[in-house]
Amino acid sequence: MKLALIDRCPLCQSTDIDLFKKGTVIPEKISAEDFKITDSHYGSRWTFFFCRDCGFVFANPAPAQGAIEQFYMALADEEYSQENEGRGRNFSTILKRLRPFAPPGSLLLDVGAASGIFLDLARQAGYRVSGIEPSKALVADAEKLYGLKLFCGTVEQYTVSEKFAAITLLDVLEHVADPGSLIATLNKFLAPGGMLVIVTPDIGSLTARIMGGRWWHYRVAHIHFFNHGSLSRLLEKNGFEIVMCKRFAWNFSLYYILTRLLPCCKGPALQKPLKKLHCKLQFFDSWELYARKKES
């Protein structure tokens, strides 16, 4: 994989940048498997720099966007849909909070839709849904499991015939090489006053500082991080105003949590009883943010 050295902040263009955390990733050994949503190699990270002016944290040297897209196109993640009940609880909360800003019946786009768990719930709630997902395997899962026909590709390849009332980026922003370009493009996809919903890790959280290099959001697929200030700056720069900001909470089965920590425990013996037990995890280290497109 080719890497490029960066001499200024990709977000604000400041040259006042410095080393944030040394990396553990060996680029030559990376494969599509490392980009799975259910990857459990926590603590695996690129070498990160931070901007003293805006607080943005970014991989430096940085992997090229084209190389990352190739990994996502090739990945398969069967475990993702096996945790659909817990993920559905996470997503149902988002739909409830979105309702006052974009009611059922509205046109909704989910970027990085994976196997379609969120879109299936949104459709059941009355939304008219579309989704973008680069993984061919996950696009096939969405059609097989939920009858959803997702666009297989990237935002840059997607064409819009009708403006959306809402767009969701759920654990996606930290994965893309150029978040500014992505947000600017999505602004064009939204109708005036449309809503952008973002879930992304908070590098400025107390949990991230306490966990240090062992923080579970340090994974190969995560190539940059925001705090509240840098995320606000990104959105303001691209024509959005934040109207609500929450801390995202996770719901997973006890089986899923156990096998993230101890992969050796995977198997049918524990799966059946522990799948019935669900836990809500709130570590206050992820943002759940709702931003409205400003009127032009």
> Are 1 and 27 in contact, with CB atoms under 8 Å apart?
yes
Q: Which of 3-17, 55-69, 73-87, 242-256 is the most confident on average?
A: 3-17
Tell me the two tokens of residue 255: 């089986």
pLDDT tens, position by position, 228-260: 999 999 999 999 999 999 999 988 888 877 777
Specify burial of residue 147 (Cβ count, 10 A radius: 0-12, 13-18, 19+).
exposed
Tell me the two tokens of residue 233: 């700056």
Number of domains in the chain: 1
pLDDT tens, position by position, 170-200: 999 999 999 999 999 999 999 999 999 999 9
Residue carrying the six token digits 């037990």: 277
Q: Tell me how crowded residue 271 is: count the other CB atoms within 10 A of its CB.
A: 16
Tell me the two tokens of residue 153: 């590709």
Q: How far apart are CA 7 and CA 48, in angstroms?
A: 13
Domain that holds residue 51: 3-293
Residue 23: give its domain's CATH number. Answer: 3.40.50.150
> Are 293 and 193 in contact, with CB atoms under 8 Å apart?
yes
